[in-house]
């Protein structure tokens, strides 16, 4: 991941900011590099699939985030930021 979230304190702080609404949106990079490309220099960042995205949503729900908050951070806030109508 880029930037990497290595320390538990960083992960916890990020989750707090997400829950309180300090972060406008979250998104994926869709970096479909092969695992082998990530094991050797230049150590390409990113995750080789979208499977982790569902896990991220499950983690947010388990941490008490409401579906509306998740919808805002993964769709509605992005549309608003780029001036698109929200239906």
Report which secondary-structure segment, H or E, holds 70: helix 67-71
Regarding predicted confidence, which is higher, 11 or 76? 76
pLDDT confidence bin for 9, thresholds 50/70/90: very high
Give residue-wise pLDDT tens across range 17-36. 988 999 999 887 666 777 78
Question: What are the structural domain ranges in the chain?
Answer: 8-81
Query: Torsions phi, psi of 25, nearest 5?
Result: -155, 165
pLDDT for position 77: 94
Contact 48, 38 (CB under 8 A): yes
pTM: 0.72
Give residue-wise pLDDT tens across range 58-71. 988 998 999 999 99
């Amino acid at each position: 991941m880029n930037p990497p979230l290595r320390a538990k304190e960083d992960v916890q702080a990020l989750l707090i900011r997400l829950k309180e609404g300090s972060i406008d949106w979250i998104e994926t990079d869709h970096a479909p590099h092969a695992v082998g490309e990530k094991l050797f220099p230049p150590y390409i960042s990113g995750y080789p699939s979208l499977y982790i995205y569902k896990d991220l949503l499950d983690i947010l729900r388990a941490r008490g985030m409401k579906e509306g908050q998740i919808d805002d951070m993964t769709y509605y806030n992005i549309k608003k930021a780029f001036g698109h109508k929200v239906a």
